[in-house]
A = this chain, B = another copy of it.
Amino acid sequence: MINYPTKKTVSKKEKKVSVKNRGMRFEKLIDEANAFYLSMDKAVIHKKPTPIQTVQVDYPSRSKAKIKEAYYKTPSTTDYNGVYQGRYLDFDVKETRSRTSFPLKNIHEHQIEHLQRIEAHGGYAFLLIHLAAVDTTYLMPYSELRPFLKRSKTGRKSMTLDEIMETGYAIKEGYRPRIDYLKAVDAWFGTMKNG
């Protein structure tokens, strides 16, 4: 007999989802979108594996290496990149539960440097920010983000939700894929052609 959890057996602890896991759930939706785009031959975008520092590796057989001690390293780039309509896309995925603002400290210094470089070399750098409080995701071009990063050095350390809504491109949640972020990329590209 398979022991399906009933309402009674689901503990309070299990219901709680850590901040990290919440972020991972949103990442999973982006992975699903990428798998969908790949299957529909719409774009080739992959998540980069998390870099690890191996300390001890065993070779029980010639073909199979077993990592026995390793640690996660801080990535030096963003998590996602790929090609869409001949253009290089590069982005990271962020989430906030706040009802008022998105803290800019969520974007690490090395990620900012990376996004800056990508833009300088003709790539398309952005963030996908999920605002859990309003259950909406925004594509935020790095070029739009930059003034707020600059402001954070002397003033406010976050973007208000209003600022995100004004400067970003809203992604309506759909059916397949749930987060069809390339539609927002299209909208962004559209403003470039006209601008």
Contacts and interface: CB of A to CB of B under 8 A. Distances in A.
A103 interface: no
Interface string A73-91: 0011100011111111010
Contact of A49 (B43, B48, B85, B118): B48
A46 B88 contact: no
Interface stretch (A22-30, A120-128, A156-164, A165-173): A120-128
23 contacts: A38-B117, A41-B120, A46-B77, A48-B48, A48-B49, A49-B51, A52-B52, A52-B67, A64-B71, A66-B70, A67-B67, A67-B70, A67-B71, A68-B69, A82-B88, A83-B88, A83-B118, A83-B121, A83-B122, A84-B121, A85-B121, A87-B122, A88-B88
Interface of A: 38, 41, 43-44, 46, 48-52, 64-72, 75-77, 81-88, 90, 114, 117-118, 120-123
- Of A44, A50, A65, A66, chain B has the most CB atoms within 10 Å of the CB of A44
A29 to B, nearest CB: 19
Number of copies: 2
A122 B88 CA distance: 10
Given A76-B46, A85-B121, A69 B67 contact: yes
- Most chain B Cβ neighbours within 10 Å, of A69, A70, A90: A70
B72 A83 contact: no
Nearest to A81: B81
A28 B94 CA distance: 32
B70 A70 contact: yes
A92 B41 CA distance: 21
Q: Which 10 A-B pairs have the closest CB atoms?
A: A86-B122, A49-B51, A83-B123, A88-B88, A67-B70, A83-B88, A49-B49, A83-B121, A44-B117, A48-B48
